[in-house]
Amino acid sequence: MSRLQDKVAVITGGNSGIGFASAQAFINAGARVAIFGRDRASLDTSVEALGENAIAIQGDVTSDADLDNLYTTTNHHFGKVDVVFANAGTAEFMSLEDATNDHLDKLFDINVKGLFKTVRQSLGALNDNASIILTSSITNEKGIPRMSAYSASKAAVRSFARSFSAELVSRGIRVNALSPGPVATSIYARAGLSEEQIEGLGEEMTNQIPLKRFGEVNEMADAAVFLASSESSFIVGDELVVDGGMTQL
C-alpha cells in the first residue's frame, strides 16, 4: 500500500516551490490534495499538472474567511483532513538599520500569524491522529546578516511545533517542523535581492554546505511525505532539518 493511501492533505503555498513538489509527492504516495494560494493563474496551472486527485482553492493565509473556505471546500470534496502542510510563507531580507515597520509586519503577518491561523482554522476539519507539518527554516538557529526579522519569524514557527503538539497530542495529532536549508527556488529573487546579490549569496552558502550544493524541492517533498506518513508516528513536536549538513558539520 502507498505511504499516504486514501489520506486527505491540505498544502498552503501549494502552487509553487516546495509546496507544489510536495503536492506531487503526496499524490504519488496515494493522497488527495487541496492546494491553497493567492495567485489564481498559478493555482490553475498547478492543479492541471497535478491531475484529478487535486483541487485548487484561492485565498490568503492572513484571512480567517479564506482559510475557513479552504477547509470547508476540502471536507466537501474529499472528506476530513489527515495532513495539513502549513507551508505558505514569504521572505524579505533587510539590514537591521534599513528594516522598516512594513518589512516586519509583512513577515510576521504571513509567516507567523498566517501559519497560526492556518492551524487554528483547521482543527474542526481534522481527523484525530492527523499530522501537521510547519515549514520553518535553518535560519531559526543561525545568525545571518539581513535576515533578522525573517529568522525570528521562522523561530516562532519552530516554537509552534512544540506548543501546538502539547495542545493537540490528546487527539493523537502530531505537529512537527520541517526546516530546509538553502533550496533552489525563486524565493531569493522574490525576497528583493538583485541577481548579483543572489549569485554572491549562493556562492557563500554553497561553501558552507558540506554537500557543496543547494537542496532540491523534491528532497524537501520527500521529507514532508515522511512527516505526513505513519513512518514518523513516534515523532512529535520535533524539527526535521534538511540542509545538506549546513547546521551540523
N- to C-terminal Cα distance for the chain? Answer: 37
Q: Using CA atoms, how far apart are residues 86 and 154, in angstroms rounded to an integer?
A: 12
Q: Phi and psi for 46 in degrees, rounded to 5?
A: -65, -45
Q: Using CA atoms, how far apart are residues 86 and 53, in angstroms rounded to an integer?
A: 19
Q: Is 71 a catalytic residue?
A: no
Query: What is the side-by-side strand order in the sheet with 174-180?
Result: 54-58, 32-37, 8-12, 81-86, 126-135, 174-180, 239-242
Strand partners, 35: 11, 56
20, 26, 93, 150: the active-site residue: 150
Q: How many CB atoms lie within 10 A of CB 120?
A: 12
- The set of catalytic residues is 150
